[in-house]
């Protein structure tokens, strides 16, 4: 792909995002929640697991502990038993109890709505804070998870794309500079949906991808798939010929 100017990259990003809007008209958080505290707790638990698995345990968790005050007084073993299916349940149980205690002690049980305050809570990093800002408070927030990292790198939406482990803060900075702040949460959601459904970490489905014509990474992946299919075909033919020789 020829070297782009900043203006050309901006235009390409906008055109690609229009395709993502067409592909995913509804952009919303897939973690079930009724308020900002539930979203905060669910997001902390979502690390290194699926949203579906988190959604499977939150009804019981929030039924037994309906607010920060209640969870702040919970027994660790009881919370562990409830959230065990999400994986890393000991550390996550500890985090959500401690963050509830911090909310009660420092914020009167109310979830704060600034990045600086949110990231002082146990288990809350910039990604989690951005989820809460964007989806609970409808403030500018652009969560960068593993899907956003991968998709934006393949699409070359930032200058970190050559790196094995690109800096999420730098990705956030560069991508958000291209879109209005009120779009940020929706842009992140659509990139996540796209990463989950089409642009997989392994075997991205470039042949059905609506962005393949403008994606810098697509030719390489398509060529790799074509080579793999050719090798399979060649191996099958050799096997058939050997069978005939017998």
CA–CA dist 129, 173 (Å, integer): 15
Q: Residue 239: inside a domain, yes or no?
A: no
Q: Could you tell me if 190 and 175 are in contact, meaning their C-beta atoms sit under 8 angstroms apart?
A: no
Determine the Cα–Cα distance for residues 131 and 140; give it in Å rounded to an integer.
10
Task: Provide the domain count of the chain.
Answer: 1
Cα 141 from chain centre:
13
CA proximity to 44, closest of 121, 141, 128, 130: 128
pLDDT of residue 79: 98
pLDDT of residue 2: 63
Kindly state whether residue 158 falls inside one of the protein's structural domains.
Answer: no
Nearest to 65 by CA among 50, 49, 82, 52: 82
- Has 127 been annotated as catalytic? yes
- Is 29 known as a binding-site position? no
In a domain, 45, yes or no: yes
Phi, psi of 163 (to 5 degrees): -80, 145
Residue 51 lies in a domain: yes
Domain membership flag for residue 126: yes
> Which of 127, 135, 149, 186 is labelled catalytic?
127
Tell me if 46 is assigned to some domain.
yes
Give the residue numbers spanning the domain of 79. Answer: 36-136
Neighbouring CB atoms inside 10 A of 98's CB total: 16
> What letter would DSSP give residue 73?
T
The CA-atom distances, in angstroms, between 77 and each of 55, 81, 82, 89, 93 are 20, 6, 9, 10, 8
CATH number at residue 44: 1.10.340.30
Q: Which residues contact 11 (CB under 8 A, 6 or more apart)?
A: none
Per-residue pLDDT tens digits of the chain, which is 246 residues long:
568 898 999 999 999 999 999 999 999 999 999 999 999 999 999 999 999 999 999 999 999 999 999 999 999 999 999 999 999 999 999 999 999 999 999 999 999 999 999 999 999 999 999 999 999 999 999 999 999 999 999 999 999 998 989 999 999 999 999 999 999 999 999 999 999 999 999 999 999 999 999 999 999 999 988 877 777 777 777 777 776 666
Query: Is 145 a catalytic site residue?
Result: yes
Residue 107 covered by a domain: yes
Torsion sign, CA atoms 235, 241, 243, 246: negative
Residue 15 lies in a domain: no
Pick the catalytic residue from 92, 135, 145, 186: 145
Of the candidates 161, 158, 145, 228, the residue with the CA atom closest to the CA atom of residue 194: 145
What is the maximum alpha-carbon separation in the chain?
Answer: 82
């Amino acid at each position: 792909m020829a070297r782009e100017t900043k203006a050309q990259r901006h235009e390409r990003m906008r055109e690609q995002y229009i395709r993502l809007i067409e592909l995913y008209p509804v952009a919303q958080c897939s973690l079930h929640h009724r308020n900002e505290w539930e979203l905060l707790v669910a997001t902390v638990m979502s690390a290194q697991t699926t949203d579906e698995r988190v959604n499977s345990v939150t009804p019981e968790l929030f039924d037994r502990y309906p607010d920060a005050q209640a969870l702040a007084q919970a027994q660790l073993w009881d919370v562990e038993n409830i959230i065990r299916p999400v994986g890393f349940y000991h550390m996550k149980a500890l985090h959500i109890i401690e963050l509830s205690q911090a909310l009660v002690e420092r914020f009167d049980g109310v979830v704060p709505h600034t990045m600086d305050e949110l990231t002082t809570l146990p288990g809350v990093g910039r990604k989690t804070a951005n989820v809460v800002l964007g989806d609970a408070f409808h403030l500018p927030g652009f969560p960068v998870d593993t899907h956003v990292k991968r998709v934006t790198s393949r699409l070359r939406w930032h200058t970190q794309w050559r790196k094995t482990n690109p800096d999420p803060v730098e990705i956030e900075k560069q991508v958000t500079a291209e879109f209005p702040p009120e779009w940020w949460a929706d842009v992140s959601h659509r990139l996540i949906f796209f990463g989950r459904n089409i642009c997989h970490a392994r075997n991205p489905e470039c042949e059905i991808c609506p962005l393949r014509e403008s994606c810098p990474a697509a030719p390489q992946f398509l060529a790799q798939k074509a080579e793999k299919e050719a090798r399979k075909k060649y191996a099958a033919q050799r096997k058939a010929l050997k069978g005939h020789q017998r």
